[in-house]
Amino acid sequence: MPWNHILMRFCDHGHSKARCECTPEVVMLTAFRRAPRGIPRINSGSEDLYAEVIGEFSAGSLVEDPDREAFQSPCVDGKNSRIVAGFAHVFPNYSTYLAKPGLYMEALHIRKPYRRMGLGTMFLKKIAKEAVKLGMERIEWCLLHSNQPAINFYEGNGGRIKPGFRKCAIDGEAFNSCEP
């Protein structure tokens, strides 16, 4: 699956391609192989939260996709190949302030040829449905303050921009100089 292509396009959109360090090998080792160290797997019945969830829709010849081949999956067991139109990356979190479990949505990305077709809303509803099944009470995410189309999308789907909060991080030299 062309995860590196999708993530690189996502980095392009966020104007952070120079800092994007994704390769197929790194993605498979860090994102899809296992739960992060110290975080238990969360199961709902027989489904593993870290398992891949695939949703399908048929766009047929409605979509002009110049990168179709780069995002095409191989045929398996005689089934038709699929085109990856987007992805969402979510993981569990917990609010100590609200004392509620939730999901953090690190990324929701729909490739340009497939935007304005309802896929983002479909992804968001699927994520919310999974969160409810897992007994979680909310979904959180961050976005660039300059990304007005994303702001409009999330607000149009019931999302709220929380003005009193700022995204913070310790990374680079500051992270590396932290004592264990």
Q: Which residue numbers are catalytic?
A: 154
User: What is the spatial distance between Cα 106 and Cα 14, in angstroms, rounded to a whole number?
Assistant: 13
The amino acid at residue 175 is F
> Do 50 and 41 form a contact (C-beta atoms < 8 A)?
yes
CA angle 109, 110, 113 (to 5 degrees): 150
Give whole-number Cα distances, 108 to 3, 13, 47, 130, 141, in Å.
13, 12, 21, 15, 9
* 84 CB-near residues (< 8 Å, 6+ apart): 1, 2, 6, 71, 72, 73, 111
User: What is the spatial distance between Cα 89 and Cα 68, in angstroms, rounded to a whole number?
Assistant: 22
